[in-house]
Structure 1
Amino acid sequence: MGIYRFKLPDIGEGVVEAEITSWHVKLGDTVEEDQPLADAMTDKATIELTSPVDGVIKTIACEEGDMLAVGADLVVLEIEGDGEDDDAEETEAAEAPTPKPAPLENKSTATPPPVPTAPRRTSDKVQASPAVRKRADAMNIDLADVPHAGARIEHSDLDAFLLSEREDAKLTSTQSAPAAPPEKPAAAKAESHLAEGETRIKVIGLRRVIAQRMQEAKRHIPHFTYVEEIDVTALEAFRARTNEKSADNKPKLTVLPLIIRALAETLKDWPQFNALYQDEAGYVSRFEDINLGIATQTDQGLIVPVLKRAQTLSMWQMANEIARLAEAARTNTLSTEDLKGATTTLTSLGPLGGIVTTPVINRPEVAIFGPNKIRKTLALEDGEIVERKVMNFSISCDHRVIDGYDAAAMMAELRARLEDPARIFLL
């Protein structure tokens, strides 16, 4: 019998760590080659990690929700025949003990390791894999500073170096700070114990990413929301006639492609809404193409695939592409390209849309559009009471770059197009 160490692979695109969002195996399981082991989530995508060999799971790297460095052991398997040479690893461990690395913090909250005050020495002659070099560069670590016992620096050496730096920083802080107050009695820690009937659910994966992004958006962006009521009676009649006359091979139109078409025409005159505010760099980027994020609810949470160059698409092209993106989001088959490049976002709950929403902007975008559900109402028209179909339409804006007057004026133009469908198609 031998040992095979399956390490978290280099996912590329500058990724140095990933969150293990779910395990498909447990200790002692017998697995076959290509059998799914775990799902790993980065800032760019979620990938399924499969076993490269047949074997039995002997160790698992971490719990669900923990961060794991590229190149670190994901699982260790016991396999038939000769495995890796563990003797060399044990010798190396004896010469340079490396404590079990703590899971790496999330990038958005992690404190980078201290930068050496001495002039940086070149690390060109230090032997290390491209993944190790990329990870060290991302954390501003000079490989020449990293102790290692083997012929080249491994991820475990980086982990040990980071851990020692943190311990040194903690020791320095302890020596310079006043003595800590005595620990509180156990009764004061009652909040850490489960209350009767309490269930705790760890916030991991997509839910964690959503939480972080929403928190960043609300912390950085001064939101304001403007709501316009739109009479969509004519629009709904136009949609019904179009669906009656459409070919059998075309999808039935929902109201969404019509809204997007009207929005694309309107934003030609209002480019400040189709923009990104790079606040830390101090500039706003405006775009000719409307790459519209379509917020889509899935079992894993809210995903925002991107409808590319929406202003160039016909209603049918939009309907087909929206259906493709929605299905890919629900089945977790979106490509990285499907998720990149949004310049503004539309979020809609369809029939569940409520009367009014106040959507949160997807930073660094400056606006997010939120059509609400269509409802019937009675209106007075030429002295007669008539039934109309109306929809409230919300827009949340970044008040640093968009004024309330501009939001109201832009929404008035959008309302005019939606209330007179012919204007949607007039250039």
Structure 2
Amino acid sequence: MRKLGTKNIRLFILFTVIVIATIAIFIYGVKTVLSYDKSIYQVEEGTYFFDNKNNVINLKESGEVSKNWDGNYYLKTNLEKYNLGKQTISSSNEDYRIYAYGTIYQTFEDGTVLKHDGKTEIVKNTSASFYKLADRRYLMVDKEIVDDKKEIIGSSYLYIILDKQGNALLLNDELNLKTLNSVILTSDSFKFDVAKEILTFNKEEIDLKKLIGSTNEYVEKEITTKPKEKDKIDNIPQITLPVNKHEPRDSKKINYQKMVSLNDTSPSITFIDVFYTVIDPANTFQSVYLLINNNETTNKIELNKEENKYRILNLEPNHEYKISLGYSFIDEENENNFIERIVDIINVRTNKPKYEIEFTKVTFDRVYFNLKIDPLYKLESGVLTLYSDNTKLRSISINPNRAATSSGWESYIEITNLGYEVVLALEDAVYNGMPVNYEAVAKFINN
């Protein structure tokens, strides 16, 4: 019997290892897909969410939340789809509970930790609780939350998001605040040093950086004090020693590269995506922000310096907005002088919704048509009105769900007598509870 050579044995072993590794990866992938949360959670109009870019979403209609195979939760409505990230929270003024989605960790007074998965109900305004949602993300729940200055910055809950320098973004239904220095949040039940990620229960400190780890790079600045002047003692003779004098070297200040720029914009019907770049290794910029002007009012939006994209929501369709990108900093020569500068300005028009009406067939007693409305701007209601020689014949209510599909809504209007010029027009359209007026008309000549 022929024996295998050393080279063939090595190839056989390598092939076996590759096969085993491939099977293991396949099994792991199947297990991951099968094990993720497949529940679909219904959410009501008026619920507040925070997406994966920390933008606030105020639902104007009911929707549903579900987890995708990629590990992210998604909020779907008839109008939009939002990426909520791997963990997020939601709340409503009409509900006594806060809801957390994803794997979160509840920390107790004795240092024990309870892991929650899927959708977690958290009762507000009755008892205090504290959760770590992810790396540098926390949820603080209590009746009243104050900062170092004893100013109330949170009632019932506070969603806390840190950057790597220890600055915090503080969010809830009514607050969107970016801190530029370390802050300590206090309630009746506990104290949280945000930059250090230390939670204190009754003087017992819990280092939350050790819970699932942390990428926080915050280092507390050392406070240097001038040495006290030594007491002078009289009647002691002074002794002068020879000293070799050295001229001090020129100390050159390090000039770090810093930059703020607006790279691009991408408009949709009700939102505009803004792409930007911030380079600030020395943390010189106190804030980076957008100014959104709609020719009547100007809104200011604080940006996250670590991100490069922001979505401006709740905009009017087919409307031009002036978008300015700016930053602020403290004057090096005068610390009381706060300077703001605009670096880029661009005019962007949101897209116009697409509506199409087409006559498909005309018989002696019916007019058949097809209506298509933009699925990104789906109407809540509306009517189609048939005119003949400028005389109104009949109106019917539209079916928005079917009209928003790729094939459109096929239907008909009954008639008795058509004139020469026949017009079918979309009227009394309603979007998001408000009347809208976009021209959608079909015409034909009845010979």
With the shorter chain as reference, the TM-score category is under 0.3
TM-score between the two structures when normalised by the length of structure 2: 0.23
More helix by share: 1
> Which structure has the larger Rg?
2
**More strand by proportion, 1 or 2?**
2
Q: Which has the higher contact order (CA 8 A, sep 6+)?
A: 1
